[in-house]
């Protein structure tokens, strides 16, 4: 009888990414940003139920993690736009796979 192999621990890089993405609202914000640059109020409309304070906090976290870039536009009054970075856009296939999984019939 063959022995079961020992499971490998989750790599640190995967754990760090999962820790960031499993925080409430993060995936919803990234999903909304996959369509292009958004302003704060557009995120607030796209992510139903998030408070302005929490949205602001999550946007800062995603920016600090290198997934979102914040740009102040030279308008009067100045406006702020958020856009996924290259690193953030690389999450697109992962989110698409999650959508496909959720839409697949169970059983």
pLDDT attached to residue 2? 62
pLDDT attached to residue 52? 96
Is 47:59 a contact under the CB 8 Å cutoff? Answer: no
Q: What is the pLDDT along the chain (107 residues), one digit of tens a residue?
A: 566 788 888 899 888 888 888 899 999 999 999 999 999 999 999 999 999 999 999 999 999 999 999 999 999 998 999 999 999 999 999 999 999 999 988 86
Is 36:83 a contact under the CB 8 Å cutoff? Answer: yes
What the chain holds in terms of domains, given with CATH numbers, is 37-102 (1.10.10.10)
Query: pTM of the full predicted structure?
Result: 0.84
Angle, CA of 22, 82 and 75, to the nearest 5°: 160
54's CB contacts (< 8 A; 6+ apart) are: 24, 25
- The Cβ of residue 69 has, within 10 Å, a number of other Cβ atoms equal to 16
pLDDT attached to residue 80? 95
DSSP 62: H
DSSP 65: T
């Amino acid at each position: 009888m063959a022995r079961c192999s020992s499971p490998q621990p989750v790599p640190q890089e995967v754990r760090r990414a999962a820790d960031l993405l499993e925080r409430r609202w993060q995936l919803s914000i990234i999903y909304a940003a996959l369509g292009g640059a958004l302003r704060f109020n557009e995120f607030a409309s796209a992510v139903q139920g998030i408070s302005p304070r929490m949205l602001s906090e999550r946007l800062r976290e995603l920016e600090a993690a290198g997934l979102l870039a914040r740009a102040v536009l030279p308008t009067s009054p100045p406006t702020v736009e958020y856009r996924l970075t290259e690193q953030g856009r690389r999450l697109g296939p992962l989110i698409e796979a999650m959508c496909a999984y959720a839409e697949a019939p169970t059983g």
